[in-house]
Chain A
């Protein structure tokens, strides 16, 4: 079924884009902290709000990056026993993998649904990191990034599950690599 494959490949462009933003963000974070250190040291004038920016950034970076990390098989797992099952009983392994991917999709769907009202609240009440009058970094956009990341994770887990299902049913041949396309 070429549609599913192209859907996976097409979605790969989405996860890659999100990941690229997260990746560039790391470099920006490094530059920001260095600027703060230099300015504090040389000009005796720290940049306000850097600590809050770090707090904000790390969550953003992780949720932008997670879908791509899942896609390329970078999520931590113990695959010693699993690899053995895979070589002896590939179909069984495939059904197990299907269950893992479905559970992953369900958990991130729950996070998405539960975070949604938090995001609405954050935008409505103009919630922020930092202290009033000094630095205020709004949390609303961050919640939006978390929701975006969770949505991408749900889609990516589902695409992987669809692939597992087709292999388990014998409609498709197992991919040689674990990469999601």
Chain B
């Protein structure tokens, strides 16, 4: 091991420690990369130039236009109550099934996921729409919030997906391909959730609850009304995904057209005034700035890793260790699950992927499939304590009046996290799940 690689490895260690100690993730990545390059090259000028280069050039690419546009689209469809409409329709379709409300939530989330790319949007929307309804029908609070937490993950898995965009940027893979690869695992996971809900309703009724006969005063919608409620969603999905796969749009264009479509819908339905629109735009800008700051710092970090020779060292270590690809995969998933207890999804991907990428290339790994594996592993972290962002969003959305605690939500989400883990194993065992449509 050379001095440079020792410095590189040490800076990864210090960086993780600082992040755990609460330093801004982007600042920590920048600081350690800057200091690392400075020590290795013995020249502060080179380090400063790398820093400025990352700030000026890392996100200066057409591809990054997708970030604000898909975030905007996701927040607009949330503001337009499209999630509520979808849930009402699903509710009616599954009303006769035992645990049907849970299934309706999963189904509505799966459909909603096809027009939004951020899990936190799904979690917030369905906490407002589905949780009160499930409680009214006598489901336990834990089950109600657990279903919402678990199914919000579909938002990232079913395209469009902000995390898959990020992964595509990090690995230089086609975002369109990654989106397609997420479709089957997303649908299978939704079906697995439904099967899990049915099974829990049968074998663990104390957890699920329900069965309270709600007043049937609620008028049933006619087929026409249901169609009218679903039409906007179908149109948006057709516009965005159809345009993307039909080769009519680039991902950036699909994001812009989708956002414009969602905006038009919200305005036509009179569910968004100017003040509301501005609020949505401000939030979009915050999320965009935070994500892009991470991307800038991550590009600096991967350059530091390359300069120090750590990536090369890791590649030889992993390939020569006799660990094999299976061993690497097992360690990788374990590390991600571990990081997922503290860090948010995008930070985990930015830190780990540059480290394993060279070794993956050496093994000839299908990086699109690997992206889905990464996504599933990372998203389990959304549901695990002490830091599960989906769980926090649900708690915040419930408001201070609700007696449901963070612990309740983590406990309720646990069965769904377990189902996700099985899904992760399934995608590893059967890569065709991800690659079949490509």
Q: Which residues of A are interface residues toward B (Cβ below 8 A)?
A: 19, 22-24, 26-27, 29-31, 33-34, 36-37, 41, 51, 54-59, 61-62, 65-66, 68-69, 72, 74-82, 85, 93, 96-97, 100, 103-104, 107, 110-111, 113-115, 118, 143, 146, 150
Contacts and interface: CB of A to CB of B under 8 A. Distances in A.
Given A77-B24, A81-B20, A61 B285 contact: yes
Given A59-B60, A114-B51, A26 B293 contact: no
Nearest to B387: A80
Contacts, number: 174
Contacts of A93: 22
Given A26-B72, A55-B61, A107-B31, A61 B253 contact: no
Contacts of A51: 62
B253 A19 contact: no
B24 A75 contact: yes
Interface stretch (B141-149, B160-168, B339-347): B339-347
15 contacts: A22-B289, A30-B260, A33-B253, A34-B256, A37-B253, A37-B256, A61-B288, A62-B289, A74-B286, A77-B25, A78-B19, A78-B22, A107-B34, A110-B48, A111-B51
6 tightest Cβ-Cβ pairs between the two chains A and B? A82-B22, A114-B52, A33-B256, A65-B289, A54-B65, A62-B292
If over half of B's interface residues share one DSSP class (helix, strand or loop), that class is named, otherwise mixed; here it is helix
Given A26-B68, A76-B346, A143-B56, A69 B22 contact: no
B64 to A, nearest CB: 4
A156 to B, nearest CB: 12
B62 A54 contact: yes
A100 B67 contact: no
Given A37-B256, A114-B51, A118-B56, A77 B22 contact: yes
A74 B24 CA distance: 10
Given A31-B260, A100-B27, A81 B60 contact: no
Nearest to B27: A104
Contacts of B342: 78, 80-81
B184 interface: no
B13 to A, nearest CB: 16
B290 A74 contact: yes
A65 B387 contact: no
A77 B68 contact: no
Given A54-B252, A69-B289, A69-B290, A79 B22 contact: yes
